[in-house]
Amino acid sequence: MADTPRIWGSADIGESKDGIKIYRLGLQRLFLQPLCDSSDRLYLSGYHELSINQWDGRHDRLSAIAYSPVFTVNFYRPGAFTPYLELGVGISLITKKLIDSRDMSSHFQFEDRVGVGMRSDAIDLHFRYMHYSNAGLKSPNQGIDIFLVGMAYRF
């Protein structure tokens, strides 16, 4: 989708399996050109995302800022939306190490994601699984798993 705008704003909402609510606002900048366009059916592309996050537990709250490069496999199809799969690994800084009874151990966290979505020239609808942890750099390493739904829109 060569005519797709390059700057997008995103909003996501989700929850961990132990009831921690997650709210995310992000800015996405699409890669300048596809990384691989060897087929008339799919192409590899992606985006850089900078986000701010709010995690609301039952007793605690924390904020985070994150950056992730995200790679997408986009499937050409006739119509208004292009379906895609995404995968990314980024970094995050959280304001507190504890949320409810979960000990994240450090302010520095890795942000891993896998997702699916559909993007048009003006809107993107997506579902993501995200995992935050410090990758064992400090113990305990009680990461958090989050399922999110969201949308992005062009600027």
75-127: per-residue pLDDT in tens? 877 778 999 999 999 999 999 999 998 999 999 999 999 999 999 989 999 99
Given 3.50.50.60, 2.40.160.20, 3.40.50.300, 3.40.720.10, which CATH number is that of 7-154? Answer: 2.40.160.20
Q: What is the pTM of this model?
A: 0.89
Q: Is the pLDDT of residue 12 over 90?
A: yes
Q: How is residue 140 annotated by DSSP?
A: -
67 CB-contact burial (10 Å; exposed 0-12 / middle 13-18 / buried 19+): middle
32-42: per-residue pLDDT in tens? 766 666 667 78
Q: How confident is the model at residue 5 (pLDDT cuts 50, 70, 90)?
A: low
pLDDT at 39: 65
